[in-house]
Structure 1
Amino acid sequence: MNTAGRITGIGQGGHITLAHGGGGTAMRALIDDVFLQAFGNDPAVAQEDQARFPLSRFTAEGDRLAFTTDAFVVEPLEFPGGDIGTLAVCGTVNDLAVGGARPVALSAAFILAEGLELATLRRVVASMAACARAAGVRIVTGDTKVVPRGACDGLFITTTGIGTLPAGCDISIAGGRVGDVVIVNGTLGDHGAAILCARGDLALDTAIESDCAALNGLTQALLDAVPDVRAMRDATRGGVAGVLTELAEASGVTVRIEEDRLPIRPDVAGLCELLGLDPLYLANEGKLVAVVPAEAAERALAAMHAHPLGRNAAVIGTLAEIPASGRRGDVRLVNRLGGQRVVTMPMGEQLPRIC
Structure 2
Amino acid sequence: MSDVITLAHGAGGKQTAELIDSVFKAHFANPEFTGDDAAILSLGGQDLAFTTDGFIVSPSDFPGGNIGKLSICGTVNDLSCMGAQPLYLACAFVIEEGLPMSDLERYAAAMEKTAAEAGVRIVAGDTKVAGKGQVDRLFITTTGIGRRLPGVRLSGTEAKPGDAVIVTGDIGRHGCTVLLSREQFGIDADVTSDCAPLWGTVKSMLGVTQDIHVIRDATRGGVGTVLYEIAAQSHVGIRLDRAAIPVAPAVSGVCGMLGLEPLYLACEGRLVVFAPQAQADAIVTALRQGPYSGNAAIIGTVTAEHAERVTIRTEIGAETILPPPGGELLPRIC
**Equivalenced residues, count:** 294
Whole-Å separation in 2 of the counterparts to 1:60 and 1:296: 32
Partner of 2:101: 118
Alpha-carbon distance, 1:328 to partner: 2.3
**Which of 233, 236, 245 is equivalent to 1:253?**
236
**Which of 178, 182, 185 is equivalent to 2:161?**
178
Q: SS state of the match for residue 126, structure 1?
A: helix
Q: If the length of structure 1 is used for normalisation, what is the TM-score? A: 0.81
Q: SS state of the match for residue 310, structure 1?
A: coil
Partner of 2:249: 266
Task: Tell whether the 8 Å contact from 1:235 to 1:289 is kept in structure 2 after alignment.
Answer: yes
Deviates more, 1:58-67 or 1:121-130: 58-67
Partner of 2:29: none
Partner of 1:188: 171
Q: SS state of the match for residue 264, structure 2?
A: coil
- Report matched runs for 1:1-355 at 5 Å: 63-322=46-305, 327-355=306-334
Q: If the length of structure 2 is used for normalisation, what is the TM-score? A: 0.86
Instruction: Render the CA deviation track for 1:229-283: whole Å, top value 9, x for unaligned.
Output: 1101000001000111111111121100100000001110110111111000000
Whole-Å separation in 1 of the counterparts to 2:271 and 2:321: 21
Whole-Å separation in 2 of the counterparts to 1:151 and 1:192: 25
Task: Tell whether the 8 Å contact from 1:254 to 1:319 is kept in structure 2 after alignment.
Answer: yes
Alpha-carbon distance, 1:62 to partner: 7.6
The letter for the 2-side match of 1:245 is Y
Deviates more, 1:339-348 or 1:151-160: 339-348
Whole-Å separation in 2 of the counterparts to 1:160 and 1:182: 29
Whole-Å separation in 1 of the counterparts to 2:279 and 2:312: 23
Alpha-carbon distance, 1:169 to partner: 1.5
The letter for the 1-side match of 2:310 is V
| RMSD (Å) for aligned C-alpha atoms | 1.6
Say if 1:215 and 1:81 are closer, same or farther in 2 by CA, change over 3 A: same
Whole-Å separation in 2 of the counterparts to 1:207 and 1:249: 36
Alpha-carbon distance, 1:168 to partner: 2.3
Identity %: 46
* Higher RCO (CA 8 Å, separation ≥ 6 residues): 2
Say if 1:62 and 1:229 are closer, same or farther in 2 by CA, change over 3 A: farther
Q: SS state of the match for residue 128, structure 2?
A: strand
Whole-Å separation in 2 of the counterparts to 1:262 and 1:309: 16
Task: Tell whether the 8 Å contact from 1:88 to 1:158 is kept in structure 2 after alignment.
Answer: yes
Whole-Å separation in 1 of the counterparts to 2:104 and 2:241: 43
**Structure 1 moving runs of 4+ over 6 Å:** 58-62
Q: SS state of the match for residue 90, structure 2?
A: strand
Alpha-carbon distance, 1:321 to partner: 1.4
Higher strand proportion, which one?
Answer: 2
Q: SS state of the match for residue 150, structure 1?
A: coil
Say if 1:197 and 1:61 are closer, same or farther in 2 by CA, change over 3 A: farther
Task: Tell whether the 8 Å contact from 2:241 to 2:299 is kept in structure 1 after alignment.
Answer: yes
